[in-house]
Structures are given as C-alpha cells and as structure tokens.
Copies of this chain bind each other. A is one copy, B any other.
C-alpha cells in the first residue's frame, strides 16, 4: 500500500535540487488574485493605464507569482506529513514582470539545514526558489525557511 510521504529533515541533502510542475498564468488568475487579496492596483486591473507603463500591458501581481510559486512547491508534496510550519520569507526579489500567458516553473534548492537548538524532533530547512518563465528567464528569486520533522 503506497501513500504520499514527504521527506524527513535527515533525508534532505544540502544542495539538492528539484523541479516543480509548470503553470501558465492567465488573465483570470490576475482578476481572481486581485479580487481575493483586494489589490486592485491599476498595473493589474486597467488595460488602459497599463498601455502607458513601461510594461505595455497588465502584469501579474508580484505576490501572485510568489504565492503560485510556493503553491507549485507545495504540490511536489516534498514535505507531505513532515511539515510543521512555514516560518517566513527571508527575501523575495521580483526581477522581471510576468504577463498573462507566461508559463512559470520553479527550481527548489535545499540551500541549508539548521538543527533546532531547543527541540530535538525537528529542524529548519532553508529553501531557495528560482522562478523561471517559458523563455528560461529568471523572473523571481526567493528564499524561505520551513520547520520540518525529524524521523520519529
């Protein structure tokens, strides 16, 4: 009997790399993300205003791309059953705009592992996420920390 089982802290190799699935960002995504979060900035919601920007058309919210990238990471189920918490974002750079119709793909790099000083049943994983578009351009680069279980 098989079941989805994520990786324990010990099983992660520092420097290991993983590719997520791809996802195309559509006009729908921008409308829905804007509505859900309340971010209606004209950069995302006015085709007329967008014509006058350096982008030339509406672009996806930086937080949309970052959230979708984190979602693509979650879908790998890399930490299914082993994730205790997502601690936060160390930094996340929005390097290039993402346009409706662009397809993104994320490379996950296990950048570092930090043993917890106080608790012996868990450790902290430092995860770098590089987001690429369909042209192979790096559009976003972020680093975050996750708390992951040790093998019981």
How many copies of this chain does one complex carry? 6
Give chain A's interface residue range (CB within 8 Å of chain B): 35 or more
In the bound complex, do residue B21 and residue A101 qualify as a contact, i.e. CB atoms below 8 Å apart?
no
Contact in complex: A40, B94 (CB < 8 Å): no
Residues 10-61 of A at the B interface (beta carbon under 8 Å): 16-24, 26-29, 31-33, 35-43, 45-49, 53-54, 58, 61
Assuming the A-B contacts A20-B4, A48-B24, are A40 and B38 also in contact, with contact meaning beta carbons closer than 8 angstroms in the complex? yes
Query: Contact at B71–A37, with CB atoms within 8 Å?
Result: yes
Q: What residue in chain B is nearest A47 (Cβ atoms)?
A: B24
- Report the nearest B residue to A72, measured CB to CB: B38
Given contacts A19-B4, A36-B33, A71-B37, contact A24 B58 (CB under 8 A): yes
Report the separation of the CA atoms of residues A38 and B39 in the bound assembly, to the nearest whole angstrom.
9
- Nearest 5 pairs of A and B residues by beta carbon: A38-B71, A37-B71, A35-B35, A39-B74, A22-B46
A residues whose Cβ falls under 8 Å from a Cβ of B: 1-4, 16-24, 26-29, 31-33, 35-43, 45-49, 53-54, 58, 61-64, 66-68, 70-72, 74-77, 80-81, 83-95, 101, 103, 134, 142
